[in-house]
Chain A
Amino acid sequence: MYANLERWPATPSEGDNERAERAPRIVLMGSRRSGKTSMARVVFGKMSPHETLFVPSTAQPTLRLVANSDLVHFSIFDVPGDRDLSELRWRDAQMTPRDLFGRCVVLAYVVDAEADPYSECARLAEVAAAAKAANPRVQLEVFVHKVDGDHFLSEEQKLDCRREVEACARAELAELYAHGSDETVDPQQAQAYADDCLAGAAFSLTSIYDHSVFEAFSKLVSRALVPQRIVLRKMLDALVTACDMEKSFLFDVASKVYVATDSAPVDSASYELCADAIDVVLDVASIYAPDKTQQPEPSEEDTPVREEEPKQTRSNAASIQLSNGMALVLDEVDRNLALVCLLRTENLEKRDLIDYNLGCFRTALARLAALNASSAGK
């Protein structure tokens, strides 16, 4: 019954099936062996990159539920690469583009950077056009994937590849539009169509062998899938201002994907450092305080169980000092959610102020969750 359903991190349980169907959805597409299943498993299933060498080619469309917290709750629909849009089947029925893209919030299209960009982009254009026709609200994200081979030793080579894919996708979309109608089409109109399809689409360079795939999913999730993203951003902006911080990320601890960040631009090095900081803290804690960390995650029920959990007097927290005058503050704000903030070391001295503001953040987050639960209950 769950043959086509996976739930992370736990095994599927009763009710997941329906919850996965109802959850906002990422549709993951791209040609065969482009790395779709691998990237989903590495980011959300804790698979190590070299294990993906043994991932079999996906035979049937697969729906995965990612339900780590109130904020991280969505499903990923993994579509086999060799399947034509017209021959997709789901639960023994033919699947129309409307079925496929109706519940889709983000179409994540994976382009294999090692394959021929023209054939990759021809298919990308076809899928993007179909998605747009079926559901104009679908947001397109393009992952230019596997940029870790010998062709991509320098940053310049990677950027070239991304530029090429983007130009190619644009050209293919314009061409598709021109071919779609019988009359001769004004090239400017075709160009306008391509621009429209790609409006707001992000092209990210990714590899499962480094942080890039995590960062790309972070952008995707924080931009489109977190229900209260606008409020969260404002809350983080307020925190950063109050404590004089440089940058803050709210992380999904299980995947190291950030679900929200303040308005200051994200630089990859800071993101990596903050993600690694979660690892170092959890790894040390798991050696010296193994009881809590090794407990199986309590399975999530449909009814909130938060009230029954023992009240914790102090949140799990950590701080790290670096030689360049910077420091990191980590705080577990909720089950599976951690705040990681980057600030100047001298501002760390105002520890009481920081603790006070982190407390405010936690309270606001709990209120937000309660609001969310009550509006979902209606």
Chain B
Amino acid sequence: MASPMTKKVLLMGRSGSGKTSMRSIIFADYMARDTMRLSPTIDVEYSHVRFLGNLHLHLWDCGGQDDFYRNYLEHMRDHIFRSVELLIYVFDIESEEQGSDFSQFADVIEAVEQHSPDARVYVLVHKMDLVKEDVRKAVFSEKEASILSQASDHLRIQCFRTSIWDETLYRAWSHIVYSLVPNTALLESHLNEYCTICGADEVVLFESTTFLVIAHATCIPHSDTHRFEKISNIIKQFKLSCRKVQAHFEGMLVQHHQLIALFENLTRSTAIMFISSDPDLMHTALISSNVAQFRAQLKICGLIG
């Protein structure tokens, strides 16, 4: 087995912006309302997340209080900002200190650029649930524009709007982890082939602890572009329900009018979903045997452990 790939991910932003909340929901199965009991992070909390067999994430959740930042930017500068694969920077949309938010962001960007010029940067404009729904889009666009104007042209920066109270959280984080998965093109080509063989409308691959989407193949187009993050959210909620009876979610088959949806664990770290609108085309027994085959194929490719 190949040695694991470890990627350093920095989680930064001012105190109270919601970094630990998001990390806990995505990686530690917290419920959204449990985050109200979190206390501010002191210095840096390191966590090691095994994501997709061979890919390991080293998350550095950096406490956001100003004193800590002085330290990060001065004494610990090299330690913190060296060999960063990815920086996730969080803005609280309801923050009352926008000026300081931006100057800290600028300092962080400068340090990353200096020590890890190849790092990718994701900016999350967070707590969007606190903004009235009809102006969310406008508020986000404005914020995004000012963020991008602050940053230099050298780093690749992408902005997302997020809230722990809806599926936007999963949209952003799916995007982020997707960028870390190696060989996605090969994975998707296998998936496409597989989708056709099964006569499925759509096949989606999830990482099984976070239920974030890793790859998908779509044979029959679907109008809802937000469906994957909705599914992540729905299944994740149900996984938490299963926890209450000391069990894990292992699979589901839904037969609903003109729909068959099948969820199955694929490998230790992935789950797969099949969707078909033609029940005659999709025989669940057939799919099950195909799953086994696909699983073997992925193992051989060394894609997913």
Instruction: Point out residues on A near B: beta carbons under 8 Å.
Output: 269-270, 272-273, 276-277, 279-281, 283-285, 287-289, 291-292, 314, 316-324, 326
Q: What is the distance, in angstroms, from A326's C-beta to the closest C-beta of chain B?
A: 6
Interface SS of chain A: helix, strand, loop or mixed? helix
- B186 contacts A by Cβ under 8 Å: no
State the CA gap A323–B268 with chains docked (Å). Answer: 13
B230 CB contacts on chain A under 8 angstroms: 283, 287
A285 CB contacts on chain B under 8 angstroms: 254, 256-257, 259, 261
Q: What is the distance, in angstroms, from A222's C-beta to the closest C-beta of chain B?
A: 21
Which of the residues B234, B245, B248, B250 comes within 8 Å of A284, measured between beta carbons?
B234
Q: What is the distance, in angstroms, from A2's C-beta to the closest C-beta of chain B?
A: 29
Known: A285-B254, A322-B242, A324-B245. 7 other contacts (CB 8 A): A273-B242, A280-B241, A288-B261, A289-B258, A321-B251, A322-B247, A324-B248
A320 CB contacts on chain B under 8 angstroms: 249, 251-253
State the CA gap A320–B234 with chains docked (Å). Answer: 14
Q: What is the distance, in angstroms, from B220's C-beta to the closest C-beta of chain A?
A: 10
A326 CB contacts on chain B under 8 angstroms: 245, 247
Is B257 within 8 A of A316, CB to CB? yes
Most chain B CB atoms below 10 A, which of A281, A284, A285: A284
Is A287 within 8 A of B231, CB to CB? yes
State the CA gap A284–B261 with chains docked (Å). Answer: 8
Within 8 A of A (CB), among B233-269: 234-235, 237-238, 241-242, 244-259, 261
Q: Report the 10 A-B pairs with minimum CB-CB distance, sorted nearest first.
A: A323-B248, A289-B259, A324-B247, A276-B241, A322-B247, A280-B238, A285-B256, A321-B250, A318-B254, A283-B234
- B277 contacts A by Cβ under 8 Å: yes
User: What is the chain A residue whose CB lies nearest that of B230?
Assistant: A287
B97 CB contacts on chain A under 8 angstroms: none
Q: What is the distance, in angstroms, from B148's C-beta to the closest C-beta of chain A?
A: 32
Provided the pairs A270-B245, A272-B241, A280-B235 are in contact, do residues A287 and B256 lie with their beta carbons within 8 angstroms? Answer: no
B279 CB contacts on chain A under 8 angstroms: 314
Which of the residues B244, B253, B275 comes within 8 Å of A273, measured between beta carbons?
B244
Q: What is the distance, in angstroms, from B231's C-beta to the closest C-beta of chain A?
A: 7
State the CA gap A292–B258 with chains docked (Å). Answer: 9
Is A284 within 8 A of B244, CB to CB? no
Instruction: Point out residues on B near A: beta carbons under 8 Å.
Output: 201, 222, 224, 227, 230-231, 234-235, 237-238, 241-242, 244-259, 261, 275, 277, 279
Q: What is the distance, in angstroms, from A193's C-beta to the closest C-beta of chain B?
A: 41
User: What is the chain B residue whose CB lies nearest that of A326?
Assistant: B247
State the CA gap A285–B227 with chains docked (Å). Answer: 11
User: What is the chain A residue whose CB lies nearest that of B248?
Assistant: A323
Q: What is the distance, in angstroms, from B282's C-beta to the closest C-beta of chain A?
A: 12
A279 CB contacts on chain B under 8 angstroms: 234, 237-238
State the CA gap A322–B230 with chains docked (Å). Answer: 21
User: What is the chain A residue whose CB lies nearest that of B259?
Assistant: A289
State the CA gap A321–B252 with chains docked (Å). Answer: 6
State the CA gap A326–B201 with chains docked (Å). Answer: 30
Provided the pairs A279-B238, A283-B234 are in contact, do residues A322 and B257 lie with their beta carbons within 8 angstroms? Answer: no
Is A288 within 8 A of B277, CB to CB? yes
What are 13 contact pairs spanning A and B, CB under 8 A?
Answer: A270-B245, A272-B241, A273-B241, A273-B244, A276-B238, A280-B235, A284-B254, A287-B230, A288-B259, A292-B256, A316-B255, A316-B257, A321-B251
Q: What is the distance, in angstroms, from A208's C-beta to the closest C-beta of chain B?
A: 13
State the CA gap A124–B167 with chains docked (Å). Answer: 44
Provided the pairs A276-B238, A320-B251, A324-B246 are in contact, do residues A292 and B231 lie with their beta carbons within 8 angstroms? Answer: no
State the CA gap A270–B279 with chains docked (Å). Answer: 31
State the CA gap A276–B257 with chains docked (Å). Answer: 21
B238 CB contacts on chain A under 8 angstroms: 276-277, 279-280
Is A284 within 8 A of B247, CB to CB? no
B224 CB contacts on chain A under 8 angstroms: 287
State the CA gap A269–B253 with chains docked (Å). Answer: 22
Is A292 within 8 A of B257, CB to CB? yes
B261 CB contacts on chain A under 8 angstroms: 284-285, 288
Which of the residues A270, A289, A322, A324 comes within 8 Å of B277, measured between beta carbons?
A289
B235 CB contacts on chain A under 8 angstroms: 280
B246 CB contacts on chain A under 8 angstroms: 324
A276 CB contacts on chain B under 8 angstroms: 237-238, 241
Q: What is the distance, in angstroms, from A256's C-beta to the closest C-beta of chain B?
A: 12
Is B244 within 8 A of A280, CB to CB? no
State the CA gap A272–B244 with chains docked (Å). Answer: 9
A292 CB contacts on chain B under 8 angstroms: 256-257
Which of the residues A283, A287, A288, A323 comes within 8 Å of B247, measured between beta carbons?
A323
B250 CB contacts on chain A under 8 angstroms: 321-323
Provided the pairs A272-B241, A289-B277, A324-B245 are in contact, do residues A280 and B252 lie with their beta carbons within 8 angstroms? Answer: yes
Is A273 within 8 A of B245, CB to CB? yes
Is A269 within 8 A of B248, CB to CB? no
Q: What is the distance, in angstroms, from A100's C-beta to the closest C-beta of chain B?
A: 38
Is A319 within 8 A of B253, CB to CB? yes
B258 CB contacts on chain A under 8 angstroms: 289
A319 CB contacts on chain B under 8 angstroms: 252-253
User: What is the chain A residue whose CB lies nearest that of B241?
Assistant: A276
State the CA gap A79–B256 with chains docked (Å). Answer: 41
Which of the residues A270, A280, A318, A323 comes within 8 Å of B256, measured between beta carbons?
A318
A283 CB contacts on chain B under 8 angstroms: 230, 234
Q: What is the distance, in angstroms, from A19's C-beta to the closest C-beta of chain B?
A: 30
B234 CB contacts on chain A under 8 angstroms: 279-280, 283-284
User: What is the chain A residue whose CB lies nearest that of B240?
Assistant: A276
State the CA gap A165–B145 with chains docked (Å). Answer: 58
Q: What is the distance, in angstroms, from A355's C-beta to the closest C-beta of chain B?
A: 11
User: What is the chain B residue whose CB lies nearest that of A318?
Assistant: B254
Is B245 within 8 A of A281, CB to CB? no
A269 CB contacts on chain B under 8 angstroms: 244-245
State the CA gap A124–B223 with chains docked (Å). Answer: 54
